[in-house]
Amino acid sequence: MDRQSEDQIQLPDRGRNIIFGKYEMGRLLGQGTFAKVYYGKNIVTGESVAIKVINKEQVKKACMMDQIKREISVMRLVRHPNIVELKEVLATKCRIYFVMEYVKGGELFAKVFKGKLKEDLARKYFQQLISAVDFCHSRGVYHRDLKPENLLLDENEDLKVSDFGLSALPEQLRQDGLLHTQCGTPAYVAPEVLRKKGYDGSKADIWSCGVILFVLLAGYLPFQDENVMRMYRKVFKGEFEYPPWLSSDVKRLISKLLVVDPEKRISISGIMKVPWFQKGYSCPVAVSIEGSNDKVEDTPSPIASPKSPRFFNAFEFISSMSSGFDLSSLFDTKRRPGSLFTSSFSAPAIMAKLESTAKKLNLKVCVEEFRVKMQGKAEGRKGKLAVVAEVFEVAPEVAVVQFSKCSGDSLEYVKFCEEDVRPALKDIVWSWQGENP
């Protein structure tokens, strides 16, 4: 397999490119320096997907493995109707496979290349772009390379933000609370980024959104020149001219987006209050990441009493509890760091503690066998948070409790585990996942 070219894969089914016994790889959709993107199909469900194949050796030589890991982390954080979904990550010794939502409408750039868009259509795409960017920023994610080439359209002509390869996470902020990496496409990059000084990632993304809105309505870039340095000078001064066909309302908005001083640039909340933006705008329906159909009833059920909880495989136990085995930062897994703990208490005692804790936290509770389902009563960013805690047996004197999110927001779930669950259960916990017992 090592000797084959990057787009050739040894397959068990002659004539069909089957990988991992799950996906059939089809035609090449596009390629970059380190990756190729293929059309694919889930052979079980028939669902169309896009499969991004990355050559590990090339990425390692370019010292870009951290960037690949960061892209995976980011795409797992940002599940939104207007963002391309990362379905799973698979890997072999030589390659990494990103299995992503297939967006068949192509790039928004191709539509703009034919000419300027009508104002209503440009507004729709801009509304969807701002909704997606706002969601990313709420997760501490800054895209840093927003441009029409990275905006895709699905079969319903809805926008999908893609390519998070240059995105930044909070841990990349320096002590001054700013980002310092110069990246992105010059024509769309904010002046503070080009100056190679620290910048606020959210403000930089807003500038790029302003350039995109101008391009959609004008059909050309606001800052362009054959000489790159002259173009930079225009960006630094914020010098551009509006085409005569733009309405006064949209001019007013663009003038607030393309402000050279990031402190005076309009915020996303400010954009959403502008009458031009609000016209026909409806908040997108929240996406449930784990998508479980588990329901939590108002009235708790009595604890069922099977002889013992389900057995937890010893290898699973060792690999889950040891931080050295934790690959969650690179490969998709249902178990998140800190979602498991061991206990020397009996399963019934743990169940009783879980149920009483849920009640003290004012959660709806449903108990069935060795599973406790808990649901919050307040609406979160993505609906009500619902969590399941399941007790497993490793040995007669050792139990494992695993938490998983059924619905709601991922960051709210992490906060719930860290701030509510851990302190409440400390008297029955032996060790949390990744900690030394």
Which CATH fold would you assign to the domain 17-101?
A: Phosphorylase Kinase; domain 1 (3.30.200)
* Helices 119-138 & 201-218 angle (0-180, nearest 10): 170
CATH of 310-432, one of 3.30.43.10, 3.30.310.80, 3.40.50.1820, 3.40.190.290: 3.30.310.80
Supply 410's token pair. Answer: 């991922």
Q: Among 17, 8, 6, 69, which Cα is nearest to 39's?
A: 17
Number of helices (H) and strands (E), helices first, in the chain?
14, 15
d(CA 409, CA 291) in angstroms, rounded, equals 11
Q: Which CATH architecture has domain 108-278?
A: Orthogonal Bundle (1.10)
Exposed/middle/buried for residue 240 (C-beta within 10 Å: 0-12, 13-18, 19+): middle
User: What are the start and end residues of each CATH 3.30.310.80 domain in the chain?
Assistant: 310-432
pLDDT per residue as tens, the chain (437 positions): 333 343 444 444 456 789 988 999 999 988 877 788 999 999 999 999 999 998 888 888 877 787 788 777 777 777 889 999 888 888 888 899 999 999 988 889 888 888 899 999 999 999 999 999 998 888 888 888 899 988 999 999 999 998 876 655 554 555 555 555 655 678 899 999 888 778 888 999 999 999 999 999 999 999 988 888 898 899 999 999 999 999 999 999 999 999 999 999 999 999 999 999 999 988 775 443 333 333 333 333 343 344 566 655 444 444 444 433 333 444 434 344 457 888 888 888 888 899 999 989 989 888 887 888 898 888 777 778 888 888 887 666 778 888 888 778 878 888 888 888 889 998 888 888 665 54
Give the active site residues: 145
Whole-angstrom distance, CA of residue 327 vs CA of residue 337 = 9
Q: Are strands 95-101 and 86-91 parallel, antiparallel or unpaired?
A: antiparallel
Residue list, annotated binding site:
52
Domain with CATH 3.30.200.20 in the chain: 17-101
Distance in angstroms (rounded) separating the CA atoms of residues 432 and 414:
14
Binding residues for ATP, as ranges, are 52
Give the separation between CA 298 and CA 283, rounded to whole angstroms. Answer: 29
